[in-house]
Structure 1
């Protein structure tokens, strides 16, 4: 089992867990207004007046060929799954068949006879392959009652996986990027961060070309409506995790009358700007680490000592030692340095089932072997056999379009550091410097913080986990409040997202909602 990693933060992709909405070049988008990030905890920012407006009720004639297309299903090498290719316009404002983007789709038909329709799933990212998620996890791990009633469907959003993937760096260049010190101690080290961020951005522009300005969340949500029509469904039913909640909420804001049964698990708050998103997420990882430390220090042989405070001190010392001298690993060509170790620790925070793995990795590192922490870092970056998936490239491309940069240069990072350090002594500096990358993105951002109301939509189920590392619980509270028909389900627990992670209470509530259309009472708590 792999830890869920729906929200990523390469340095260029500042909105690691949060991305806000985008104005695409279509007739619907975010209305004008101001934005700040001083909202009360758990509430949408009252100073954010921008609002996602619904798309026109009638499909424009130029888009009819896309909505009327018939998917040609074929075998795709995975038992019980079918695959198809869907065409969508590169630019919804100026559809041109010569520029169409081919979107990869996969499905597993309902296993029972009492079929409701299609259920789209998305694991987040942005940049995570929904098809891989469907074929490797959702179609096997989702409850039987759901698989019996729905065709399980996924598509890789534009720029992701099998759908014209964004490309940026060679594998060797990406290795160097992930090793770059994001806790710089000198001007030269800070300059190195800037240089690597610029190289990343320039590589994306060179290797991806005209697709790069057209991978926003709004465009992906519009693609999702084309897919709904191609599947023959009047309403969209959907389970989105982490960034997938932002994609789902965006769909609801654009097409409220077409909302069926939407589950938004590990929710993001579209009223939060990029800098506050990074800072809040640093706090989420701090909370998650403290939960890990509390568990670890109760166990014999914990490599971090016997108290939460000592655990934090020991981890700080470990990181400083790595900054001075990286550890050897079983990969003779690679060592474990501070940024890779930090990523490895953060990777294990996504799922408490990985806490034993992290304990083992830290114990091995204590004895001079950095192999296990390096593997956790590779898992996070989707690096296997020396090769990277396009996860991080798509992540950056989407995030840098969806929000203005969190920082315009190193001076902005320096100003933000005290707040980040206060929020997260362990991870604040790394997260602050990770907020710099979009400053050098070759395509201007088209989105900004805004509210999503989706007035007139059917009930939308928003799920939040109280000690979620990547999407703080307050974001779920805020999104549920914004949505006109939002219903909040709270999981008192650890890890990122809640559905199918062991809580019978959560699973029962979501299963009933999906199969019967009955959401739980607003404010229901599970553990």
Structure 2
């Protein structure tokens, strides 16, 4: 739910040799022995205890990657450790995929260092429930996004969760009891020390904010600088109850309606004479597609499938994460769907065509085991969920939002989970050695600004920087103001004044002539 979401239709003409790397060529070590990898990056595999309470249980190898600063001497200010969210998202692939250049552009005096958390992608052992990619895709193809998408969707989700919980336990390679966020925080401290640093400099977005909160609670005196961006409410996460996550999602959707109407029919293909009419037209599409799903077919060598109500809801919600890049294509796709053509809306969230049109690299795709590692961390952190179907239904009804089905889907995912290790489960909060900077958007669909304000109160001396934008995390739009505060904080430790709000430069609906 909190992963950094990428939207790619077709990826071609990539330098495959520059974008792949054989991680098994590196012997894991307790030292950071960097080797050249990908294109312009350095990689290492870092050994950490699998179980911090019993070092006899073996070790895990954490895949780490860095983009080195060009600054030297007193101008060089050390490493910033970065986590892109998830859980289950590969920091390595995210940095190689473009985030590295973005972060280095904001903080050029620092090395940018990331890693795949234990159990994720290039780190070993990896969390996996499936014996092949085909088996994984077969399972995922039956999953529903919205527990309210049909009369039996929630019941089916509960049954599926019980199946996957048993399968995960039966195929556990020994990692499931050790993937909770507090262990990732301990790994992070080990990495900082191996880097030759005493204290952490950190930027975590989305789930990465929860990792930051956990680290700051467990090791409050080991923080030099910490930015948490797109702030997750730790108390909700550790109780598997994210009711408040949709607090602002309706505001973002209203931004689509208002923005579309404001720019007019030339720049918004789903335009109507009022914002209310645009909203009504989307609801009509929901009703229509619920009754009659549509085929999507772009040709024998391209994406194909069907678009039903659940799929359409998924597309719309995902667009709310990255509105400045996705509202225009969403409007175009909705316009085509209104005319009976579902191909454009189907292609909007397909990572690759159904057949192999071009070479796809590590950096282009989600982690192979993202579904498994995300579920394993969520259910380890959140604890036992023994809700009956009736209780889950009552929980969904209690969420005062048209997006209650997504909240219920998150909770239902842990019904039937069977691996429940003892570990830190909150509450978060501490007096830190240096105050934390929290960043929140005025309207974030999954980590509302209220979360940043709430968590700030748990860390005395911290400050909240508000970015006046829609979307998930400050990465959703370009803001030179936000970038300036980030740099000032990392370089000088300077916090913004209370109530500081940064505007953004990115247009919500780029004009056709300038796009």
Q: Normalised by the size of structure 1, how large is the TM-score?
A: 0.80
Q: How many angstroms does 1:117 deviate by?
A: 0.8
What are the Cα deviations for residues 79-133 of structure 1, in whole angstroms up to 9, with x where unaligned? 221110111111111112x621111011121111221111111110111111112
Separation in structure 2 between the aligned mates of residue 247 and residue 384 of structure 1, nearest angstrom: 37
1:236 aligns with 2:227: no
Structure 2 matches for 1:239-278, cutoff 5 A?
239-272=203-236, 277-278=241-242
| Aligned equivalents of 2:292, 2:189: Cα separation in 1 | 52
- Among 184, 190, 200, the alignment partner of 2:164 is 200
| Cα distance change of structure 1 residues 465 and 453 upon mapping to structure 2, 3 Å threshold | same
Deviations 1:23-52 (A, max 9, x none): xxxxxxxxxxxxxxxxxxxxxxxxxxxxxx
Q: 1:358 to 1:241 in 2, by over 3 A?
A: same
Asked if the contact 1:491/1:525 (under 8 Å) is kept, the reply is yes
Task: Supply the distance in 2 between the matched residues of 1:432 and 1:519 (Cα, whole angstroms).
Answer: 37
Where in structure 1 do 4 or more consecutive aligned residues deviate above 4 Å?
Answer: 273-277, 381-388, 445-449
| Structure 1 residues 225 and 488: CA distance shift in structure 2, 3 A | same
The aligned runs of 1:373-388 (5 Å cut-off) are 373-379=345-351
SS in 1 for 2:439: strand
Preserved CA contact (<8 Å) 2:148 2:404? no
C-alpha contact (below 8 Å) 1:358/1:373 kept by paired residues: yes
Contact 1:217/1:402 (CA < 8 Å) preserved in 2? yes
Q: 1:6 aligns with which of 4, 7, 31?
A: 4
Contact 2:240–2:383 at 8 Å: present in 1 too?
A: no
Q: Does 1:183 align with 2:148?
A: yes
In the other structure, the counterpart of 2:9 is none
- Looking at structure 1, the residues matched to 396 and 158 of structure 2 have their Cα atoms a distance apart, in angstroms, of 16
CA RMSD between the two structures:
2.9
Q: CA offset at residue 504 of structure 1?
A: 1.5
Selected match of 1:371 from 336, 343, 365? 343
Alignment partner, residue 142 of structure 1: 103
Q: State the Cα deviation string for residues 454-496 of structure 1 (Å, max 9, x = none).
A: 2242111111111011101100001111012311111122111
Q: Which runs of 5+ in 2 are unaligned?
A: 7-28, 504-515
Secondary structure of the residue that 2:43 maps to in structure 1?
A: strand
In the superposition, relative to structure 1, how do residues 309 and 200 fare at CA in structure 2: closer, same or farther (>3 Å)? farther
Instruction: Return the alpha-carbon distance in structure 2 between the equivalents of residues 491 and 511 of structure 1.
Output: 15
Distance 1:493 1:109 in 2: 31
Q: Determine the C-alpha separation between the residues in 2 that align with 1:461 and 1:437.
A: 32
Query: 1:441 pairs with 394, 404, 417, which one?
Result: 417
- Residue 113 of structure 2 is aligned with which of 131, 147, 153? 153
Aligned residue in 2 for 1:71: 32
2:59 maps to which of 85, 96, 100: 100
| Residue of structure 1 in register with 2:458 after alignment | 482
- The count of residues paired between Structure 1 and Structure 2 equals 458
- Farther off after superposition, 261-270 or 135-144: 135-144
Contact 2:440–2:465 (8 Å) recurs in 1: yes
Which residue of 155, 160, 181 maps to 1:217?
181
* Structure 1 residues 500 and 494: alpha-carbon distance in aligned structure 2, compared to 1, 3 A threshold: closer
Question: Deviations 1:159-194 (Å, cap 9, x if unpaired)?
Answer: 11211332234233234233576325445x543222
2:84 aligned with 1:119: no
Q: Which residue of 1 aligns with 2:405?
A: 429
Q: Shift in Å at residue 376 of structure 1?
A: 3.4
Unaligned runs of 5+ in 1: 9-67
Report deviation, 1:145. Answer: 5.7
Structure having greater relative contact order (Cα 8 Å, sep ≥ 6): 1
2:24 matched to which residue of 1? none
Q: Mean alpha-carbon deviation: is it higher for 489-498 or for 169-178?
A: 169-178
Does 2:443 correspond to 1:493?
no
Provide closer, same or farther for how the CA distance between residues 105 and 407 of structure 1 changes in structure 2, counting only shifts above 3 A.
Answer: same
What do residues 254-279 of structure 1 show as CA deviations (whole Å, max 9, x unaligned)? 11111011111111121235778532
The within-5 A match list for 1:510-521 is 510-521=486-497
CA contact (8 A) 2:5 2:318 kept: no
- Verify the 8 A CA contact 1:126 1:394 in the aligned structure 2: yes
Question: Which residue number corresponds to residue 81 of structure 1?
Answer: 41
Q: Superposition pairs for residues 326-345 of structure 1, below 5 Å?
A: 326-330=293-297, 334-345=305-316
* Native 8 Å contact 2:396 2:407 kept in 1: no
